[in-house]
A = this chain, B = another copy of it.
Amino acid sequence: MTSIEAKFAKLGTDHAPGQEVRQSGGVPETELRGESLPGIPVDFSHGDVNDNAFAPTPGALEEFVEGVHRGGPQAYTEYRGGAELRERVAGKLAAFTGRPVSGAQELIITPGTQGALFLALGATVTAGDRVAIVRPDYFANRKLVEFLGGEVVPVKMDHLAHRDRAGLDLGQLEDAFKSGVRTFLFSNPNNPAGVIYSALEIQRIAELATRYGATVIVDQLYSRLLYSGHVYTHLRASSIDAKQVVTIMGPSKTESLSGYRLGVAFGPAHLIDRMEKLQAIVSLRAPGYSQAVLRTWFAEPAGWIAERTAKHQAIRDDLMAVFGTVKGLAVRAPEAGSYLFPRLPALGVPLHSFVRALRVQAGVTVTPGTEFSPDTADSVRLNFSQNHDAAVQAVKRAAQLIERYRA
């Protein structure tokens, strides 16, 4: 195997969400148990942005059309995004996160939060660097480090063992820093588990980063979709040098604007400068006309976010109730975001076979836990930003299939 073949062998996407259509062949008939279960198919690999589920922010398309009519200045922004828009978004994000952001120097608009993650890692990690990555966490995090020639240093999170914190192994994180790690990347709320880091965990991460001079990249994509009774702590507003934190957000999830491909990263000017240089050779800029849609961000109609959050919480509660009937299944109620990450009871078939059977026999698409950590090969992730009734029926079918395939 050549070195480039080896590099790409680590970047598999066969089981990545949304790529199911590219999986070759079906499930061997001999593996399938029983008949198919009728019902409306639900693709839990991503949220449903159709009108009968969670449609994009009101006014988004109108802002896009106005952007097209503005012409050149909207099509050809600076690589880091339009200046006026950056100022506007920086003000909103400063208010949301509780610490100032300079739109001129400290923020870049990217093609989705995926773009922001790539740029943030690309601006901090080079060949041979060691990077702390949480297990489980967003599936691309590990791959980004590997593509850049870095080495992943895993830090375990045991969310099922706790209710009042994410359950990060802070001792492992400190050991990583002690061993020379100078970059730590994590999502908060955690993707896939939907749990948030407690104020104490965030404070401890800040202390460790300060002590060891590490840069922390925090993916807060889902931090706006916060359920009642929970408090979210922004790392960048903690007692940490602002030069050591890059925060990533975007309107693809809570606001259902994924089709416009928008994200932002905000952090120290020297890293944003590097990210812009990298963006110049990776995609030039976030789509020009789409950038105009960010004018709707943190400017939604009164009560819209509260209603959207309440609707997601209601779906969460109903799905938790269905999962609660499955003996041996363990799941923690998500505190923010729209992911559920149940650990399944022991099955009589490999996880990937069960995931395929679920899709083929029950019309239920989920993402296998193997995408998020080698330690969660007994779990599946569901994005429950779906039509409420269809999601409940689909999870009932999943519960039936778990019984059928139980070891």
B-binding residues in A (CB < 8 A)? 3-4, 7-8, 11-13, 16, 18-19, 21-22, 43, 46, 48-51, 55-56, 61, 64-65, 67-68, 71-72, 74-79, 83, 111-112, 114-115, 117-118, 122-129, 140, 143-144, 147, 149, 258-261, 274, 276-278, 280-290
The residue that A289 contacts in the complex, of B126, B128, B260, with Cβ under 8 A, is B260
A259 and B289 contact, CB distance less than 8 A:
yes
Contact check, A49 vs B75: say whether CB atoms are below 8 A apart: yes
Q: Which of A3, A78, A284 has the most CB of B within 10 A?
A: A284
> Which residues of the other chain, B, contact A7 by a CB distance below 8 angstroms?
126
Judge whether B12 and A125 touch: CB under 8 Å.
no
Residues of B within 8 A of A67 (CB): 259
Collect the chain B residues with CB atoms within 8 Å of residue A46's CB: 72, 76
B118 and A276: CB pair below 8 A? no
- A18-B76, A68-B61, A143-B281 are contacts. A111–B289 as well, Cβ < 8 Å? no
* Interface-centre pick from A7, A13, A274 (highest chain B CB count, 10 A): A13
Give Cα distance in the complex from A358 to B8, angstroms. Answer: 47
Bound together, the chains give a CA A111 to CA B79 distance in angstroms of 13
22 contacts between A and B (CB under 8 A): A3-B126, A3-B128, A4-B123, A4-B125, A4-B274, A8-B274, A18-B79, A48-B72, A49-B72, A51-B71, A56-B68, A64-B64, A118-B282, A122-B147, A143-B280, A143-B281, A258-B288, A260-B289, A261-B285, A261-B287, A261-B290, A287-B290
A117 CA to B281 CA in the complex, in Å? 8
B282 touches A282 (CB 8 A): yes
Q: List, in ascending order, chain B residues with CB within 8 A of A115's CB.
A: 282-283
**Residue contact B283 to A259, C-beta cutoff 8 Å:** no
If A50-B72, A261-B111, A278-B147 touch, does A123 touch B8 (CB 8 Å cutoff)? yes
A140–B75 contact, CB under 8 A? no
Looking at the complex, which one of B22, B144, B281 makes contact with A118 (CB distance below 8 Å)? B281
A284: which B residues are within 8 A, CB to CB?
112, 114, 261
**Chain B residues, CB < 8 A from A285:** 261
Residues of B within 8 A of A112 (CB): 283-284
Q: Which residues of B contact A50 (CB under 8 A)?
A: 71-72
A77 / chain B contacts, CB cutoff of 8 Å: 18
Judge whether B126 and A281 touch: CB under 8 Å.
no
Chain B residues in 8 Å Cβ range of A65: 61, 65
B127–A280 CB distance below 8 A: no
Complex contacts, A3 vs chain B, CB 8 Å = 126-128
In the complex, what residues of B have CB within 8 A of residue A13's CB?
A: 79, 276-277, 280
Within 8 Å CB of A149, what residues of B? 127, 149
When distances are taken between beta carbons in the complex, the residues of chain B under 8 Å from A56 are: 68
A226 to chain B, nearest CB (A): 24
The 6 closest A-B CB pairs, nearest first, are A75-B259, A261-B287, A50-B71, A259-B288, A11-B277, A259-B289
Given contacts A3-B128, A16-B280, 5 further A-B contacts (CB under 8 A): A18-B78, A18-B79, A51-B71, A259-B288, A261-B285
Whether A68 contacts B276 in the complex (CB less than 8 A), given A76-B46, A112-B283, comes out as: no
How far apart sit A43 and B287, CA to CA, in the bound complex (Å)?
20
| Residue of A18, A75, A114 with most chain B CB atoms under a 10 A cut-off | A75
- Give Cα A125–Cα B149 distance, bound, in whole angstroms: 13
User: B residues within 8 A CB of A261?
Assistant: 111, 261, 283-288, 290
Q: What distance in Å separates the Cβ of A57 from its nearest Cβ neighbour in chain B? A: 12
Instruction: Output the nearest chain B residue to A140 by Cβ-Cβ distance.
Output: B281
A360→B115 CA distance, assembly (Å): 34
> How far is A49 from B11 in the complex, measured between Cα atoms in Å?
38
A149 to B7, CA, bound (A): 14
Q: What residues on B are CB-neighbors of A143 within 8 Å?
A: 280-281
The distance in angstroms between the C-alpha atoms of A259 and B64, with both chains bound, is 11
